[in-house]
Each structure stands twice: as C-alpha cells, then as structure tokens.
Structure 1
C-alpha cells in the first residue's frame, strides 16, 4: 500500500436501504466510503454500509494485533448518512480510537445531533454507552485535518491563520460547505502525495455547473459525485414527480462537474433506491458517452490511486 491511496465503496444508495435481487449488482446499502492513505483509515459517512466495514475493520485489527483506529467524517446528518452508526461494532469496543468530524446542525454540535439520533425509543444504547474512545468535533470550511504517519491523533489547523505543512507525506483533508442540499452538506477533499479524492454526495447542479465545486475538485484523481436521478425523473417525466430543488444531481450534472474540474475519473454515487441494476447500468452508459472515464459506484468497488 506504500504510495497508494485506496478507496472502497461499502454503501452506494441514497435515501433508504434496498436489499433484493434487483439491486444485488450495485448493492442496496446507504452511503459509506472508506479511504486508506498512509496507514490511516478515513470513513466518509455512516449509512448502512458502515456495518460491514466495521466488522472488516475488527478483522483487520485482530490480524494486525492492535486496536481499530479510524476517522469518520459526516457529510451531513440526514438519516441515510447516519443510520448505520448505531451498528458500527468498533464503536462498542473499548480499545477502538475514533475521531469523528461533521457539521453543526441548527446550532447543535455534532455530538449532540448524533446522540439525539440514538435516544430511546429510536435505539436502546446511547452514544455515551459506546465504550470506544471517541474524539468529536464540529467541522468548518476553515479547518484542515492533518494526519501524520507517526501520530495517532488528527491535528486540526485553520486554513487562513495557521501554517499548513506542505509535506506530501501528510494526509490532508479540507471541506467545502455546499448549499445545494437542504440544510447544507460538506464536500470533502482527501489528498496525499499529490493525489486526491473528492467526495461530493447530496449536491445538486446549477446552470453552467457548480463552479465552486469544480474549483474545489480541480484536477482531482477521483470525483465521487451524487447522481441520484435520471434527467427524466429530475424533470418530472416518465411517471415521476419532479425533484428539482431536492438537493440531488443527475448523471449529466456530475459529468459537467468532472469536466469543469478536469477530474481524471468520475464515480456516480447515491443511487436512487427505486432504480434497479439495469437502470443504473443505462445511466452509467449514458454518462460514459459524455465523460468516458465514468463508473457507477457498486458495493465492493475498490479504486487505487
């Protein structure tokens, strides 16, 4: 793994889980993406895909002979991006060390919002009863997260006021707050050794493309972009209600961002739960005619950068 950033998709659906024979090809779990860089495990969102990831992290930790160490970043706190966290097994193991970052919601701290999502009658175990060592902090656009290979902790710097290391061996994460989704959403950029991945779930396109996002994702190696709705669905055709303003994109919007950002590869993400495997393949093929290096995300997809 030296010099390689590895991205693995554990959950790729939006809104709600959809297990079944029609979705087995791409998977039915809600959003969770793992990024491995320089010995660090970074988890993007905690949809139901995080359940299997948690079990795999425990297996790896046992083989390695040490505890689970991971950093979890929430894009936002809607249910499909948090619903797997109560079943994330490493959070119950006392030796696990978890750094957790995410947005404030209606002036509530991340920890308070996450704790409320687990209160009875929703769930029988509270956040405080999870035995892992958890460090939780609100994320802002001015924060830069730094991961040194020789440290277990995450250093938080201010982009405008602190000196940020230019050491390529230090993993860096920055966030951009997008308002193209109800209540807003964080888009994350993870970079290391000149390589980067941008995670842009739950965002909607604009006329002439989201220029802020294109600049944030400039020349990224991998752009993971929301592509929940077909154009017909988005416009309210083919028997669907229109979804304009719902905070989700079409594959064409995702391709437009990829081209404007000069991204090397695009992965379509946050698939509509009502779409079966055949429908997603059609959207993938249509996207490849616009931006050739496009893949529709599926559970188990691993990309090495």
Structure 2
C-alpha cells in the first residue's frame, strides 16, 4: 500500500509538472514575443514612424483637397486661377486662401450640400421631383458658396475702405505738411489706423521695400482694392510724382474732393430710404395697422349681423 501511495504521489507530481510546462512555456514565449514587438516598434526607423506622427490635416485633409482640386479643375476654365486671385485680393485674402484651395472647397461644398439635400428630402419624405430639386439645388449652392462668400467679403471690405479713406488722406496731408515724406506719411497711416486700409498701406510699403517703384506699388494697391476713390487718389499721386507737383497741395485737394463725394453718397442713401421702406410698409406695417383699427369694427358688424 505504501508503494502504491508513493507511486500515486509521483504520478500526481509528474502531472502537475507537465501542466506547468504546458501552460508556462507558451506564456513565456508570448511575453517574449510581445516584448520583441514593443522593442521593434520603439526602435522602428524614422521612415516608418513619420507617417504615423504626421498631423491629421496632412494625412487626410491635404490629400482630400488635392483630389477635389483635380476634379474641380475639369469643370472650370483656364483663367480660373487669375479670376479667383483677383477676387481673393479684393476680399483681402481671408484665411490665407489660394485659388487652388477655393477650387477644392467648391467641389467639397457641392458634395456636402448634395448630401445635405438628400438627407433633408429623405427625412421629409418628399416625392421624387422634390428630391431631385433639393439635390440639384444643394449641388449648385455648394459649388457657388465660396464665390458668394468672397463677393460678400469683398463688398464689406470695399465699404470699409471707402469710409476710412477720407480720414487716412487727412492724416497723410497733416503728416506731409508737418515735414514728413510721402513714404513716412504712409507709414504713419499704416501704424495709426486699423482695418483693411492699414493693411493696404502696409503692403504698399512692403512692396516698395523689396524694390518696386512708388508708382507701381500705388497702382497695385488700386488694382487690389478696385474702388473709384482709391483709383482717383492713386492717379493723382502718380501724376504728382511724375511731374514734380508738391504732394501736400495734391493731398489737400484730394481730401476735400473725397469728403464731398462721401457727403453726396450719404445724401443719396438718405433719399433712397423712402423708396426702400415702401415694401415693408405695405406688406408688414399696414396689414397690422388695418387689423388693429378695422378688427373691432368688423367683429361688431359680424355680431350685429348674427344677432
């Protein structure tokens, strides 16, 4: 019995040893493999980790814009880049946009608004013609949305420039008459004013510093702004520089003329107010007035008729 018991204990120990070897060896090998993988990832060459470490904008957004630009270039003309660059200059280059980015945004906007129109039509449960109309409308709206944005931004910027120009010319006149040169006076305007006019004078001075003449820099500013008052001012400055006319007297005349034009524009807008207010007066104010004044009388007449 003692021998049988000892033999049984030995068998149990052997079985435990085999189980331990069975489950321990693969685990140790798995740990070693995991450590090897981690070490390989840690010591991976820079070429393999560079793609993972790149930001999302470079890995996804930039390739998407490139594909959208290639698609949009097929639907636009050859002079699209020049036209878009003029629009961007008139709008002040918002968001550091380029013509290529605008073309890609047009394609992405068209696809996005097309999907939005489809989703809206499916949610509302419209018929097939309405579905097609919403999808086509979203496609057209998304494609021309960047153009509308640039147009509105350029319009607001032009209004701002038109309002600021008389004050800037007054500051130029005072600076020149106090003994400063024209370039130093323009620097005073760029330093002491805010908004798009200050940006334009700063860009003009930068162009002059990199080698352009004063006439070329002034003409470039007039082309970027595309405003009649700025063109008139630039033309007077270019002629004064070409013929040697004193700049102070030219600035004084330009200041008075531009202020007269601003007053005339204000008077024109004031005269347009009665005409513009006619539509809301007829469709919004008069119906409410008629309802308040004639409503009680109509209700009284209806009560008497029913009685």
TM, length-normalised to structure 1: 0.21
Query: Which has more helix, going by share of residues?
Result: 2
Which structure exhibits the higher relative contact order, with contacts defined as CA atoms closer than 8 Å and separated by 6 or more residues?
A: 1
Q: TM-score, normalization: structure 2? A: 0.20
